Structures are given as C-alpha cells and as structure tokens.
C-alpha cells in the first residue's frame, strides 16, 4: 500500500520519498489510519516493523493542520525507556517532519539539563523523552503539559520491566484528561494490558507481529558450550564465519567489558556499551559500529533497547537474558524491514532450563549445532548414554519373544501351585 493512499500531506510524502520509503509496512497500514481516526490504541509490534513511523506520521499529519505562528505549545509527548531509543525516535520525528513548521526536542538523562531547558523556552510541538528527565523538567517548570493532545508510550513492556511505570503515571496525572493515547509494546503481557486499562479509553487493539512470527525472517541457532569457553567460541565463530558486523548481547556490565577486552585481544575490533558508559561514549561507539569502523559491538540489554542498525545480519547472544521476553528484543535487531537475519545463542549446561523458556516463548524448538572442542561433557555423556540405551533396546528386542514365553510359563506354574495348595 502506498503512503499516498493513507491521507498524509505532500510535505510528509516528500520527506518519506527522500528516505526512499514508498510503501507502508503491515503495522503502518493499520496504525496510521486508526490514529488519524482519533482512537486510543494498544498495539503489539516488534522493533524493525516500522512502528515508529506508524505513530509518528499521523501525529505529524494532525499537528501540521494547526501550526501556531507566534509560539509552539506542546502538543505531543512520546515517552521511551532509554536514551538510545529517545534519540532514534527523535531522529525519525525530525526526518519525517523536516518540511513542516513544527519543532521537536529530545530529553534524556546524561545530557546537559540547561541546554535542554533553553531549547524548551522557544516553544516546542513534540517532545521525545525518557520519563525521569521529563519529570525533572516538569519539576523545574520548564515544560507545561496543559495543551498536550497526544501521549505515546513506546516499548511499554520495557518501561514496565525497567521500573519506570511510577514515573510515567506521575506524568500522566499532569496531562489533560482529553487526549489521544497510543501504547506500543513488543509483548502484550498481563502487566502491559493492566497498564492499558489505566490510561486508555476504549482502545483499538492492533496486533500485526505475534511472538512467534516476529522471528520469521531470522534463522535461530543454539551452540552448546562449556561456560569457560564461551568467549573463545564467540571469537572463533566470528572469525571462522567471517562475520563483518556482529552485535553481541550479554547480561552483565562487567562481563560486557571482559568480552570486549578479549575480542580486541583476539584481533576483532570491538566496542562496548552499557549503563555505566556516558551518553557520549555510547553514541560514539554506536556510530562507529554503524559506519563499519568497529566490527563487533558488545551491549547489555538495557543499553541496546531500541537500537536501530540498518542491515545488521548477525546477533549473538553470549548468554540467555534474565527476562525471557528480552530475547525477542535482542534478536529483533536483525532481520529488519524484510531482510534475512541470523541469531546465534551460546548455551552452557546451566542455561538449559532458560533455553526451554525461550523455546516456549518462540513456540518452537531452536536448532542446535555443535563444534568439537566446545561441547560440554554433560552433552557428550548424554549422547553416549543414548547410544548405550538404544543398543540395549536392540539387544532386548532380539530376545523379547523368548522372555515373554518364559514369563507365561512361570505365571502358569504359579497358578498350578496355588490350585494344588487349595485342594490340600
């Protein structure tokens, strides 16, 4: 479906054309007209499906109809869980609205508060923000929310997982009662639906990508490995397969630093991003990775939320995430916009139960591949036990008829003995 058929103005269509976008994705085909009709929305959509344009374009379209000449009162607030996602969404707002007379500002922690406040003084139509920094500006009276018409919660499941829901609710309490609410989430869990019940009014439910189908363009592979040899196997896979751009996920910040250090020592140029890194360091590391100056980017789950890396072919899970649902966020960095992707997961024996949880989430068993020298002894022992068991079954099967006959004779003999005893 062409964007021109969705009721968007010429200025937005021109901006889309500049980016080479002509046809709407499945989520955009549903999301754009539904928002334009004024409904509250709860939408289940993975990253990489075009969801950001799905809610950004109709908001820009509606705001373009009512542009104030003297001042720009705040009309739309988009709340996201992380600074990386805030930057990404704001870039989209600026890109799609570059031919419109609308102003937007991005607000997140780790960036200069005074500089942000100065940009707000001149008026702004759209704010993209993390909840904590937005509350700081509200507290300092740098922002008035009295004219807000649109509230977007992007990646609501992550907002909940990271414990930001109380901050979000504080913001919502200060918004006008009459507004349009849009809630986007990769997973429509019970907690997300409960949040939706609190803030949405008669919402339309939109689900385009369900849990299992979100990975339809992604090949999933598991490599069993001894925990102590994970870094060695990681380096071997990247070098052996000659992967030129790899995003590696780890659970812990300290482990991320260790993995990055070892990969650099092995000759693979690597950067790392996690919560202890400053905003500037994280931004530079991500840009270097996107530009191909760095071959491997190691990231924790929180730092990598919302990362948009065009044409990323390979994601490697160094371990399985603490929160099973984060597996979807991780693998969603590849296989985007219809491209094929590969998601590799390194699994030690202690992670087998967590792997089962992931497989239940995905609705299928994940293919296993083994590399000699890295297979855990437990795995080898199990395979040896299976061989012995199968061999025993074959041997038992060869004498099965004889055993059955002997069993019948014994049973008959017992009956006879019992009968003889009864007669005596």
Measured CA to CA, the distance from residue 168 to residue 135 in angstroms comes to: 9
Is pLDDT above 70 for 413? no
**Residue where a domain stops, chosen among 153, 180, 207:** 207
Sign of CA dihedral 130, 133, 136, 137: negative
Q: What is the CATH number of the domain that holds 259?
A: 3.40.50.300
pLDDT at 343: 96
Average model confidence (pLDDT) across the chain: 85
The answer to whether position 150 is within a domain reads yes
- Whether 44 is covered by a domain: the verdict is yes
| Together in a domain, 345 and 276 | yes
The tokens for 351 are: 């992670």
Tell me what percent of the residues of the chain surpass a pLDDT of 70.
Answer: 84
Least confident of 7-16, 123-132, 374-383: 374-383
pLDDT tens track for 61-93: 999 987 655 568 899 999 999 888 899 999 999
- State whether 236 and 313 are in the same domain: yes
166 and 230 share a domain? Answer: no
288 and 151 fall within a common domain: no
Q: What is the DSSP string of 144-176?
A: --TT--EEEETTHHHHHHTT-HHHHHHHHHTS-
Asked if residue 340 lies in contact with residue 368, where contact means CB atoms within 8 angstroms, the answer is no
What's the mean pLDDT in 35-64?
A: 91
Higher-scoring residue by pLDDT: 134, 410: 134
In a domain, 420, yes or no: no
How far, in Å, CA of 99 to CA of 119, rounded? 20
- pLDDT of 326 > 90? The answer is no
Residues 18 and 121 in one domain: yes
Across the range 31-45, mean pLDDT stands at: 94
Q: Please work out, in degrees rounded to the nearest 5, the angle formed at the alpha carbon of residue 84 by the alpha carbons of 133 and 299.
A: 125
On the 0-12 / 13-18 / 19+ scale of CB atoms within 10 A, 392 is exposed
The full DSSP string for 122-133 is: T--SEEEEEHHH
Mean pLDDT to the nearest integer, 95-122: 93
Q: Give the C-alpha separation, 363 to 346, whole Å.
A: 19
Q: Out of 207, 240, 270, pick the residue that ends a domain.
A: 207
Q: What are the structure tokens assigned to 333, written together?
A: 């960095």
> What is the Cα–Cα distance from 416 to 407, expressed in whole angstroms?
15
**Structural domain for 351, as ranges:** 213-378
- Between 51 and 421, where is the model more confident? 51
Counting the structural domains of the chain, the total is 2
- Indicate the range of 92-96, 225-229, 324-328 predicted with least confidence: 324-328
Indicate the pLDDT class of residue 409, thresholds 50, 70 and 90.
very low
Shared domain check, 265 and 150: no
Q: Summarize pLDDT for 364-387 with one digit per residue, the tens.
A: 899 999 999 999 875 554 554 445
Query: If DSSP codes are grouped into helix, strand and coil, which group holds residue 189?
Result: coil
Checking if the pLDDT of 416 tops 60, the result is no
Q: Does residue 7 share a domain with residue 150?
A: yes
- Residue 245 and residue 146 in one domain: no
Q: Which two tokens stand for residue 361?
A: 């989430």
- Report which of 205, 183, 165 is spatially closest to residue 51, judged by C-alpha positions: 183
Q: How far apart are CA 36 and CA 24, in angstroms?
A: 15
- Among the residue ranges 53-57, 216-220, 224-228, 258-262, the one predicted with the least confidence is 216-220
Q: Is position 143 within any domain? A: yes
| pLDDT at residue 398, as a whole number | 44
pTM equals 0.70
Q: Which residue has the higher pLDDT, 325 or 20?
A: 20
Residues 197 and 226 in one domain: no
Does a structural domain hold residue 276? yes
The structure tokens listed for 70 are 């003297």
Q: What is the pLDDT of residue 72?
A: 80
**Residues 6 or more apart whose Cβ sits within 8 Å of residue 130:** 79, 80, 81, 82, 83, 86, 107, 108, 109, 164
Q: What is the pLDDT of residue 67?
A: 60
Same structural domain, 275 and 229: yes
Q: Are residues 187 and 313 part of one domain?
A: no
Where among 152, 180, 207 does a domain terminate?
A: 207
Q: Is residue 412 part of a domain?
A: no
Joined together, the tokens standing for residue 111 give 């960036």
Residues 306, 323: one domain?
yes
Q: Would residue 385 count as lying in a domain?
A: no
Tell whether 373 is covered by a domain. yes
The span from the CA of 387 to the CA of 60, in Å, is 64
């Amino acid at each position: 479906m062409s964007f021109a058929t969705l009721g968007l103005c010429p200025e937005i269509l021109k901006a889309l054309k500049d980016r080479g976008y002509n046809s709407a994705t499945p989520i955009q085909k549903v999301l754009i007209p539904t928002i334009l009709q004024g409904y509250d929305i709860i939408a289940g959509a993975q990253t990489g499906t075009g969801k950001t344009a799905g809610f950004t374009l109709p908001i820009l379209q509606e705001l373009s109809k009512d542009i104030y000449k003297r001042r720009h009162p705040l009309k739309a607030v988009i709340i996201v869980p992380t600074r990386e996602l805030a930057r990404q969404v704001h870039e989209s707002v600026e890109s799609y609205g570059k031919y419109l007379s609308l102003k937007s500002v991005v607000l997140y922690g780790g960036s200069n508060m005074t500089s942000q406040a100065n940009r707000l003084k001149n008026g702004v139509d759209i704010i993209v923000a993390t909840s904590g920094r937005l509350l700081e500006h509200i507290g300092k009276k740098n922002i008035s929310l009295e004219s807000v018409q649109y509230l977007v919660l992007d990646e609501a499941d992550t907002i909940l997982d990271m414990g930001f829901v109380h901050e979000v609710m504080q913001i919502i309490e200060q918004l006008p009662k009459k507004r349009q609410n849009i809630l986007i989430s990769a997973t429509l869990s019970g907690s997300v639906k409960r949040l939706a019940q609190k803030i949405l009014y008669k919402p339309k439910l939109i689900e385009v990508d369900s849990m299992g189908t979100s990975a339809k363009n992604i090949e999933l592979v598991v490599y069993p490995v001894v925990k102590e040899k994970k870094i060695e196997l990681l380096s071997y896979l990247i070098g052996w397969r000659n992967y030129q751009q790899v995003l590696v996920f780890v659970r812990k910040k300290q482990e991320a630093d260790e993995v990055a250090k070892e990969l650099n020592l092995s000759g693979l140029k690597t950067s790392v991003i996690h919560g202890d890194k400053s905003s500037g360091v994280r931004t530079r590391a991500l840009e270097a990775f996107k530009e191909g100056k760095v071959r491997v980017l190691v990231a924790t789950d929180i730092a990598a939320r919302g990362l948009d890396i065009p044409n990323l072919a390979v994601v490697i899970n160094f371990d399985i995430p603490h929160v099973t649902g984060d597996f979807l966020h991780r693998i969603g960095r590849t296989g985007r916009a219809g491209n094929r992707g590969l998601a590799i997961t390194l699994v030690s024996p202690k992670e087998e139960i967590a792997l089962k949880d992931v497989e239940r989430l995905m609705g299928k068993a994940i293919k296993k591949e083994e590399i000699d020298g890295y297979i855990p002894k437990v795995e080898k022992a199990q395979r040896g036990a299976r061989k012995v068991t199968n061999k025993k079954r074959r041997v038992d099967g060869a004498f099965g008829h004889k055993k059955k006959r002997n069993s019948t004779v014994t049973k008959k003999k017992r009956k006879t003995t019992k009968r003889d005893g009864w007669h005596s």
